[in-house]
């Protein structure tokens, strides 16, 4: 059939066939470009365990009285003794901060009437205790001077920022190791970071809550270990 065509028509058909063939050769490469680069995304984790060297606690005194001024005076006298005891342990004045001072009326139902019977005064301070050896002594001294509220105790580390940097470096190395392990299994060796995200950071250590001295023996305060953790999300091109 083609042999009966004129030379011009045969040349046109051959040219078109060649063009289609060349286009087919380049089509897979274009599709690969359209699909984008090959990537792998991994999470990197880092953790450093340290011993806390600082404690925070909230101490308080609640007093009641039929006269608001007497209730306030009694509360003030007890809190002064508490603060003096803490200062005697070497706790700095700047590390003792008033965080709550409240006065509440107290009522009692008498027959069909709700009668005012007095006032309750609540005074609370937040204390920073440097040196874990002082934590138990501070709680014991405060409760011995009349503190009847010990509201939480938390532990931290003074060099936590530098410790977090160490955990972050561990997380980055962990992410790189995981990516190399995944891609290396399929003989891919060249990795390039195209996205890096810090997912979370923080330190974790259980705290305690004591409503009264009897509920939390200060001599049993134990800070334990503190975990400083870092988590990163990294996307590599390979």
Q: List Cα–Cα distances, 79 to 27, 70, 219, in angstroms.
A: 83, 14, 21
Determine the pLDDT at residue 191: 95
Tokens 């087919």 sit on residue:
24
Domain boundary (156, 177, 210) is at 156
Determine the pLDDT at residue 91: 97
Containing domain of residue 198, as a range?
Answer: 37-52+157-238
What total number of domains does the chain contain?
3
Please give the average pLDDT of every successive group of 10 residues along the chain, which has 238 residues.
58 55 52 71 95 94 94 96 97 97 95 93 97 91 95 88 94 97 92 93 52 44 82 96
pTM of the model: 0.64
Three-state SS for the chain is CHHHCCHHHHHHHHHHHHHHHHHHHHHHHHHHHHHCCCEEEEEEEEEEEECCCEEEEEEEEEEEECCHHHHHHHHHHHHHHHHHHHHHCCCCHHHEEEEEEEEEEEEEEECCEEEEEEEEEEEEEEEEEECHHHHHHHHHHHHHCCCCEEEEEEEECCCHHHHHHHHHHHHHHHHHHHHHHHHHCCCCCCCEEEEEEEEEEEEECCCEEECCCCCCCHHHCCCCCEEEEEEEEEEEEC
180 is written with which tokens? 């190399």
Domain boundary (137, 156, 175) is at 156
Over residues 110-135, the pLDDT tens digits come to 989 999 999 999 999 999 999 888 99
Domain boundary (116, 138, 156) is at 156
Q: Are residues 141 and 197 in the same domain?
A: no
Residue 55 Cα to chain centre, angstroms = 17
Q: Are residues 29 and 11 in the same domain?
A: yes
Q: Are residues 173 and 207 in the same domain?
A: yes
Q: Are residues 190 and 169 in the same domain?
A: yes
Residue 185 CB partners (closer than 8 Å, separation 6+): none
Instruction: Read off the CATH number of the domain in which 113 is found.
Output: 3.30.70.2970
Determine the pLDDT at residue 202: 66
Q: Are residues 137 and 164 in the same domain?
A: no
Q: Are residues 178 and 63 in the same domain?
A: no
Q: Are residues 210 and 140 in the same domain?
A: no
Q: Are residues 196 and 207 in the same domain?
A: yes
Asked if 226 and 49 count as a contact pair (C-beta separation under 8 A), the reply is yes
């Amino acid at each position: 059939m083609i042999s009966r065509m004129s030379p011009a028509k045969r040349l046109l058909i051959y040219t078109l066939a060649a063009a289609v063939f060349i286009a087919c050769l380049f089509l897979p490469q274009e599709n690969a470009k359209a699909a984008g680069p090959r990537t792998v995304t991994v999470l990197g984790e880092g953790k450093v365990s340290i011993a806390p060297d600082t404690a925070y606690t909230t101490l308080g005194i609640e007093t009641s009285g039929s006269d608001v001024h007497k209730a306030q005076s009694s509360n003030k006298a007890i809190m002064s003794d508490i603060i003096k005891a803490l200062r005697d342990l070497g706790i700095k004045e700047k590390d003792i901060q008033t965080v709550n001072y409240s006065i509440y009326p107290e009522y009692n139902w008498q027959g069909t009437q709700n009668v005012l019977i007095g006032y309750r005064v609540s005074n609370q301070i937040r204390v920073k205790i440097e040196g874990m050896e002082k934590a138990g002594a501070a709680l014991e001294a405060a409760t011995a001077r009349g503190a009847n509220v010990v509201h939480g105790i938390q532990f931290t580390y003074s060099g936590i920022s530098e410790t977090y940097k160490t955990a972050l470096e561990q997380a980055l190395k962990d992410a790189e190791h995981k990516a190399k392990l995944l891609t290396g299994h399929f003989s891919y060796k060249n990795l390039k970071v195209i996205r890096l995200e810090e997912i979370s950071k923080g330190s974790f250590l259980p705290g305690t809550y004591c409503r009264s001295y009897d509920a939390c023996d200060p001599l049993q305060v134990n800070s334990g270990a503190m975990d400083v953790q870092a988590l990163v999300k990294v996307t590599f091109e390979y």
